[in-house]
Amino acid sequence: MQQSASNKRLLALAAGFVIWSIAFVVLYSALSIGCRQGWNDVHLVAGMSLQRVQLVGLYALHLACGLGLVIALRMTPAKKEIAAFLHAIAFYAAIAAVFSTAFTFAGVLLLSPC
Amino acid sequence: MEQPSPVSQIKLHHDLKAIWDTPPGWGFLSAVNHTVLGRRFIIAAFTFFAIGGVLAMLIRAQLATPRSAFVGPDVYNQIFTMHGSVMMFLYAIPMFEGFAIYLLPKMLGARDLAFPRLTAYGFWCYIFGGSILIGAMLLGVAPDSGWFMYTPLSSSTYTPGINADIWLLGITFVEISALSAAVEITVSILKLRAPGMSIDRLPIMAWYLLVTALMMLFGFPPLILGSILLELERAFDLPFFDPTRGGDSLLWQHLFWLFGHPEVYIIFLPAAGAISMMIPTFARHPLVGYRAIIAAIIAVGFLSFGLWVHHMFAVGIPHLALAFFSAASGLVAIPTGLQIFAWIATLAKGRPRFDVPMLYLAGFFVIFVIGGLTGVMLAMVPFNLQAHDTHFVVAHLHYVLVGGFVFPMLAGAYYWLPHITGKVSDHKLAVPAFWLIFIGFNMTFFLMHLTGLLGMPRRIDTYPAEAKWEWLNLLSSVGSFVMTIGFALFVLDIILQVRFGKAFRRNPWQARSLEWATPTPPPSYAFASLPHVESPADWLEPGSLGNDLAAGRGYLGFTRNGWQETLGVGMTDGAPDQVVVLPRSTTLPFWTGLATGTIVLCLLFKLYWLALLPFAVTITLLLCWTRTTGAQSDLGPLPIGRGQTALVHWEAGQPPSWWAMVFVLAADATLFGSLLFGCVFLAMIAPGWPPAVIVLPSYGVMALAAILMIAAALFGRLALRDLNRNRAPTAWLGSAALAHLGACAALVWIIAVDVVDPTQHAHQATLFALLGYAVLHAGVGCILALYGLQRQRSGKLSPIRNLDLRIGKLWHDYAAVAGLVALVAVIVLCWSAGGRP
């Protein structure tokens, strides 16, 4: 049982960047589909296009997931030596992944989408 | 259970040698030992490096002067294509594989890697695949479309001969070797370690190799898929990349660079791992920032997959997408920089001493940092568009690859050669060799930044004198010859060390990692007994530990049943949980590699029906591998020394082979995911859609195929359940085989009756590919079910010995899920093309 819990912590090492990877695939796909479907020409509220709204929404969602992971890791510290080791690396990687998500996709806030 | 009695050190050595040694003479074909095969990989990789180097000299001779008539454009195209392909596929990756194969078990405190026959099979695939490429070059029919084989240049319209086929088939053949190594390295690091080596005590090299191997598992499948699709287009006219029939050339670029950019880090990370092992030795201080470095490696591993489009900035992708890739490309410099600062900090905190490996590492620092900085420049879209396809890019990639791989490997060669040979060099040639390589390299490639900024394009075979690139090119060529003299000196130095070097005591550098606890040169069994690791595995006392292990005062300090034994441990806690019995020397991997090579040759010469014969031989030979595995009775816990016991691996819960299947399926799923991406990409982006003829699939037959695939998975599970209840699983296994066979028939029926002609349009071609993927998996599922039956008949299954059925279950489940996804994808693609019922 302990070994199984540790194996899960091993998987947690990648959790932050898995969220970043999903954000990449989702945002790149949404961008391509939106440009293809002409969503940039569909205007919604406050002068924002449907394309911008969906991209910003997805960006915010993935940032929230990443931040959620960081908070969850922060609130569940591990005490035993090996678990603490894996936990620390998972925490560092999750912080790096949130920063990467914020930086990589920040263009959705300002740049012309298509 | 009673522990075996201790034996004398000499007797233990002779007993182990009798079991582990490779037979002499023709027995060299039967080698499966990691020390032997690691050395062979390294030697072969250096040989290919020399061939690639000669090709580079020809390129520089051609470009030394304007309007050169040294070689014509056709030959020049072959030369630069082969130079890139050889260096990337036949030198860099196999070199890292050889390095990992030789060192990894010793660093982990194991006697071998998890799958020695797979190591051997990978080696023969590499040699045969490489030989096909070099043979083609000697015959004047080498690939000539650039090492990235862009379509439509590499399509049959513009490259009608077999040149491109040689690349597609030969490189895919070599990729089998790389994927074998990736599975092997991943499983070995996670499962085959010395007891006590918990995950927080792993040598840093193991973390680097683990991330690298996982990157290979997820990075290579897109290229393999791309090569298969392009070969299908070239051989059978399926228009995946033909824009006149719904294909798109950009799909190839996406698939290629999805592999191609991670490839750069797949090459760099093992070298960085070697640096992280050498610097603490010479700094006489543990590596600073062990945990932060691991987080950085993970970050690099992921981020490197988000950069591929920076090779495609000029192809017309939405600007916002360019921003994603540009940002990720700049971002990857941060975790890479973190590692460099950690190495500098280690040197700053320690008491560094300077020796030859450090000289080469100093060269690495200078060259790699310059390459990294120009990489950040190229990551910026406006600059990239200016420098695109110029010699600036050639300069950048050589600074990164030579700085990030060749210099660390040269340092590693000097550092670990005493381990391989048991001899040391007086280093009289190592220093001038370094300076010649370093000066020659910078002279060759720094000047290419300038020619690139002056507008000199890549891959041109000649240029006019008016272009003003003349003297820069001439100096560049002179520099390349200086560098070659340096490499020649290096080779001479190595030969002299191997032949005339002084025998030396163990561990000449006073390194603290476990590989130095073996005798040097290492015996075939690596460790006479396995250590119990109680502190970080790269800060041990190898001298005293080595003496204890040689005297048999560790785990498995005895022989049993003529078995090649090592220990499997819990992935994280490092507690021993199984005795892994490894296969002994056999020629089966050689013959299997030869049969696989024959398939490649048949496909190359378009003897498609004849290819079925070596294909059947390959499958039969692979099944023959299993004859010596397992047992016909339950053994229960076996003594492993130090008063402990463990189950033999085929009775243990999750042995290496079970994990291997998990990772193989992960790579397989990546290939399938890439195929789905390709299908959606063509349907949404490619010109010429919707197609004139839309496929209306037979929903009844599709439903039948789906039911049969689910049934096969269910029968596989029921067979395992019955076996666990001590009932014969024969009926369920037979049913699973029949269900798979039925699914194959239904899927083939859909291809033959509904898809009809996949050459008409990419719409049909993509459906053909999806259904073909499902057929292939159902076919393999049938073979695995029949294999389960054979194991049952031979008495090798029991409720405890149920591993074969558990591995089979993984495949049956995956085949069902992937098959169902493929069928859903077929329906969605038909509907999206307008083919609603």
Would you call A27 and B324 a contact, using CB atoms and an 8 Å cutoff?
A: yes
Contact B295 A92 (CB under 8 A): yes
Does A35 reach chain B within 8 Å, measured CB to CB? Answer: yes
Percent of chain B at pLDDT > 70 equals: 99
Q: With H, G, I as helix, E, B as strand and everything else as coil, classify residue B502.
A: strand
A42: contact with B, CB 8 A cutoff: no
Inter-CA distances, B782 with B476, B635, B789, Å: 58, 30, 11
Residue A100 lies in a domain: yes
Nearest to A82 among B198, B294, B323 (CB): B198
pLDDT of residue B1: 58
Mean confidence (pLDDT) of chain B: 95
The answer to whether the Cβ–Cβ distance between A89 and B298 falls below 8 Å is yes
The distance in angstroms from the start CA to the end CA of chain B is 69
Residue A20 has its nearest CB partner, among B302, B321, B570, at B302
Q: CA-CA distance, B369 to B289, in Å (whole number)?
A: 20
Spell out which residues of chain B touch residue A92, defining contact as CB-CB under 8 Å.
Answer: 291-292, 295
Q: What is residue A2's predicted lDDT score, i.e. its pLDDT? A: 58
Residue B192 DSSP code: -
**Residue A1 domain-assigned (yes or no):** no
Q: For residue B639, which phi and psi values (nearest 5 degrees)?
A: -65, 140
Of B303, B318, B572, the CB nearest to A35: B318
* Percentage of chain B exceeding pLDDT 90: 92
- The closest alpha carbon to B52, from B122, B116, B137, belongs to B137
| B63 DSSP β-pair partners | none
pTM, two decimals, is 0.96
pLDDT value at B425 more than 90: no
Q: Nearest CA of chain B to the CA of A7: how many Å?
A: 7
Which pLDDT belongs to residue B705?
A: 97
- Overall residue count recorded for chain A in this entry: 114
Q: Indicate yes or no: CB of A21 within 8 angstroms of CB of B306.
A: yes
Q: Quick one: average pLDDT of B21-46?
A: 97
| CB proximity B670 to A under 8 Å | no
| pLDDT (0 to 100) of residue B613 | 98
Residues of A in contact with B570 (CB under 8 A): 3, 6
More confidently predicted of B248 and A2? B248
Q: Do B318 and A32 touch (CB under 8 A)?
A: yes
Nearest to B321 among A31, A82, A106 (CB): A31
Write down the pLDDT at residue B834. Answer: 82
CA B86, B89, B90: angle at the middle one, nearest 5? 60
Given an 8 Å threshold on Cβ–Cβ distance, is B299 in contact with A17?
yes
Q: Which of A96, A103, A105 sits opposite B295 (nearest CB)?
A: A96
- Scanning B529-588 for CB atoms below 8 A from A yields 570-573, 575
Report domain extents, chain B.
Answer: 690-832
Predicted ipTM beyond 0.85:
yes
Cβ atoms of B196 and B532 within 8 Å: the answer is yes
Q: Which of B251, B308, B324 to mutate to test the interface with A (most CBs of A within 10 A)?
A: B324
At residue B2 the predicted structure's pLDDT band, cuts being 50, 70 and 90, is low
Q: Is residue A111 part of a domain?
A: no
Q: Apex CA A22: angle with CA A55 and CA B336, to 5°?
A: 105
Q: How confident is the model at residue B345 (pLDDT cuts 50, 70, 90)?
A: very high
Helix or strand holding residue B720 (H, E): helix B699-724
Contact criterion met (CB < 8 Å) for B299 and A93: yes
pLDDT of B652 > 80? The answer is yes
Distance to chain A for B331, nearest Cα, Å: 7
B145 CB-side CA count, 13 A = 21
- pLDDT over threshold 80, residue B6: no
A82 CB neighbours in chain B (<8 A) are 198-200, 572-573
CATH class given for the domain over B690-832 = mainly alpha
Amino acid identity of residue B254, one-letter, is: H
Locate all alpha helices (DSSP H) within B86-155, ordered by sequence.
Answer: 93-108, 116-138
Does A85 touch chain B if contact means CB atoms closer than 8 Å? yes
**Contact assignment for B327 to A106 by CB distance below 8 Å:** yes
**Among residues B392, B389, B397, B398, which one has the least CA distance to residue B469?**
B392
Burial state string for B199-213 with b = 16 or more CB within 10 A and e = fewer than 16: bbbbbbbbbbbbbbb
Whether B292 contacts chain A with CB within 8 A: yes
Closest residue, chain A, to B335 (C-alpha): A96
Facing residue for A111 by CB, picked from B319, B572, B684: B319
Lowest mean pLDDT among B2-6, B258-262, B282-286, B538-542: B2-6
Partners of residue A89 in chain B, C-beta under 8 Å: 291, 294-295, 298
Q: Does the pLDDT of residue B4 top 80, yes or no? A: no
In a domain, A3, yes or no: no
pLDDT > 80? residue A1: no
Q: Where are the beta strands (DSSP E) in B235-294?
A: none
Has residue A77 been placed in a domain? yes
Domain that residue A38 falls in: 13-106
Facing residue for A111 by CB, picked from B199, B320, B331: B320
DSSP state of B304: G
The pLDDT of residue A3: 63
| SS3 label, residue B116 | helix
Q: How many structural domains does chain A have? A: 1
d(CA B422, CA B504): 6
**CA B134/CA B52 separation, integer angstroms:** 10
Judged by CB atoms closer than 8 Å, whether chains meet at A89 and B291 is answered as yes
Size of interface A-B (CB pairs under 8 A): 109
**Chain B positions in Cβ-Cβ contact with residue A62 (cut-off 8 Å):** none
The predicted pLDDT at position B836 comes to 64
Q: What is the pLDDT of residue B837?
A: 58
| Chain B CA closest to residue A95 | B295
Q: At A4, is the pLDDT very low, low, confident or very high (cuts 50, 70, 90)?
A: low
Q: How far is A15 from chain B (nearest CA, A)?
A: 10
Phi, psi of B579 (to 5 degrees): -95, 115
Give me the pLDDT at residue B23, please: 96
Q: Name chain A contacts of B571, Cβ cutoff 8 Å.
A: 3, 6-7, 10
Once rounded to an integer, what is the mean pLDDT over residues B242-271? 95
For B571, name the nearest residue in chain A, comparing CA atoms only.
Answer: A7
> What residues contact residue B241 under an 8 Å CB cut-off, 6+ apart?
B151, B152, B155, B229, B230, B233, B247, B248, B249, B251, B252
